Structure 1
Amino acid sequence: MSSRFERFRHRLHEIIFEADTWAGRAFDVALLVLIGLSVVTVILESVPSFHHRYGLLFLRAEWFFTLIFSIEYVLRLLAVRRPLRYVFSFFGLVDLMALLPTYVSLFAVGGYELLAVRILRLMRVFRILKLGEYTSAAELLMYSLRESRAKIIVFFLFLLGLVITLGSLMYVIEGRTNGFESIPLSIYWAVITVTTVGYGDIVPSTALGKIIATLIMILGYAIIAVPTGIVTVSIARAAQRGVSTQACPNCSRQGHDPDARFCKYCGEKL
């Protein structure tokens, strides 16, 4: 009996978590369509005129999608040997957040009128994040981001130190009389200037302040290219080496090398 269940779980895992079989590809395409339709339903429901005319239809569609995704969620838990690891993984939490609002509305008094429940209902758009599970390009991007995380963290720490220094400098140069009322507010100005957003709610008035602001804006364009270059190099390396679509049957982690026979995270045989 246990061997039969193991075969069933192996087959289920192959269909749900992998995309190198006909059944796996068909499952992924069906989910892509359902996720797309459910997100469109959430968006259209937020339009007052549509909600007034087709509210009941939207409600029925929402329950249909919720039931389908609930079944998918249960099947995913059955397909892995360590269900709790999947539950607390990124996509496991995304799946849960996509299901939670509809079920919470059953138990909340005046459910659809409460602000908290309305916020939970907005979480249904997290379903769009599930699209990333079913594309090799998204897997390649996620793999590249993981490989680049140390460099990206160092870059952001450097950027954090830079905006704190520049914000403090502008606080000293401009002072409270010119709108730079505190160092945190000056740091806020440095962030929106370095990122080239420039809301214009705080602007330097002194000649020295304007010179420094100009240099910061020019520096901002150069800084933007740094994380882009880091990720691009990682993507190029990953594309040359290739990334497998196989997921570990034990921990459900992906991103293995094409010739990998064992999971590089838990050691389970692929």
Structure 2
Amino acid sequence: MATSDSVERSGHKAWLYHIIFEANTPLAKAFDIALILSILASVTLVMLDSVQSVHEQWHRELYIAEWIFTIFFTIEYLLRLYCIGKPVRYATSFFGIIDLLCIIPTYLSLFVAGTQVMLVVRLIRVLRIFRILKLFHYVGEATALARALQASRRKITVFLITVLTMVTVFGSLMYVIEGPEHGFTSIPRSIYWAVVTLTTVGYGDITPQTNIGQMLSAMVMIMGYAVIAVPTGIVTVELSQTMKRHMTLTCVGCGQEDHDADADYCKYCGTQLSRRDGKRRQVIPRPLPDLQHSTVQKDEEPPSGKSG
């Protein structure tokens, strides 16, 4: 009887786990959609509550709605801790801390006065959408972008050094050409103009007045398009080379998601992964080659006798 209860409890946790952490069944997708809508609605309420006129007219309604969302997120957070294999590891993970920070401010408002400003922390709920949507299920995983940035860090560093050199040279030239009488009162201020112009921002607070200065300014603005295109191309190339097929499944043990498509075990905790249909992956060992019969023998040529 105890074994039956244990199996039933384990099956109940697995059922909750696949609904909350996975997105492979209609029920799990419906849960994710409901959670996304709740997050967006709660963030919208926080923004509306910061408007003085809305706060004065709808304060009571917004307060009740906030508590409804807080209770919903609290239940969801507790269910995540309940059904995952290692709750402590999840609670101390990035999204686990985000989940906790989403609900703490509302409860603190009951005991500590003046925590209304702290309620802005609820805006970090929008970060949870990245986990639910698994945006990089469509455009690559977030880790692929991180790997692409890491792989291109030297190229980007060289590019930034080149840009800093360019703005220093252009700023110094503009300081010599225009001078303090046209607003270029110092080399640092001229470098500021070069940065604003090279990045195609163009505030217009400092503008060259001489013909040579305007020609230099036009050249810097044209080069600004290359400044935008070069880092974009670097990261795009690295991203296309780095991004591979990743699973959207989450490890039952630790909650990590960035697993390769052919992975059988979690690379963080070693827990066996589940297939998209919720079943365990079957690890079939490959048979070793038979070394005794691995020698390739040439076929004997048939006799070439003439027919008589």
TM-score interval, smaller chain: 0.7 to 0.9
SS at match of 1:196: coil
1:197-237 Cα offsets, whole Å, 9 max, x none, are 22223444565554444333223222323444455456666
Identity percentage of aligned residues: 39
Among candidates 176, 181, 188, match of residue 186 of structure 2? 181
Q: Which residue of 2 aligns with 1:115?
A: none
Q: 1:57 to 1:161 in 2, by over 3 A?
A: same
Among candidates 50, 71, 77, match of residue 75 of structure 2? 71
Q: Following TM superposition, where does structure 1 have runs of at least 4 consecutive aligned residues deviating by more than 6 angstroms?
A: none
1:235-246 counterparts in 2 under 5 A? 242-246=245-249
More helix by share: 1
Tell whether the 8 Å contact from 2:172 to 2:190 is kept in structure 1 after alignment: no
Larger radius of gyration: 2
Whole-angstrom CA distance in 1 between matches of 2:126 and 2:110: 23
Q: Which residue of 2 aligns with 1:224?
A: 228
Whole-angstrom CA distance in 1 between matches of 2:84 and 2:219: 54
Q: 1:122 to 1:268 in 2, by over 3 A?
A: same
Q: 1:48 to 1:210 in 2, by over 3 A?
A: same
Among candidates 113, 127, 130, match of residue 129 of structure 1? 127
Measure how far apart 1:180 and its partner are.
Answer: 5.4
Give the TM-score, by structure 2 length: 0.70
Tell whether the 8 Å contact from 1:170 to 1:180 is kept in structure 2 after alignment: no
Q: 1:9 to 1:188 in 2, by over 3 A?
A: farther
1:43-84 Cα offsets, whole Å, 9 max, x none, are 222232221111010011111111211222222233334444
Measure how far apart 1:168 and its partner are.
Answer: 2.6
Tell whether the 8 Å contact from 1:144 to 1:234 is kept in structure 2 after alignment: no
1:7-35 Cα offsets, whole Å, 9 max, x none, are 44433332211111233212212201211
Higher RCO (CA < 8 A, seq sep 6+): 1
Whole-angstrom CA distance in 1 between matches of 2:108 and 2:210: 55
1:165-204 counterparts in 2 under 5 A? 165-175=165-175, 177=180, 178-179=183-184, 181=186, 183=188, 185=189, 188-204=192-208
Q: Which residue of 1 aligns with 2:294?
A: none
Q: Which residue of 1 aligns with 2:296?
A: none
Q: Which residue of 1 aligns with 2:299?
A: none
Give the TM-score, by structure 1 length: 0.79
Among candidates 91, 96, 101, match of residue 97 of structure 1? 101
Aligned length: 262
Q: Which residue of 2 aligns with 1:59?
A: 63
Counterpart amino acid of residue 104 in structure 1: L
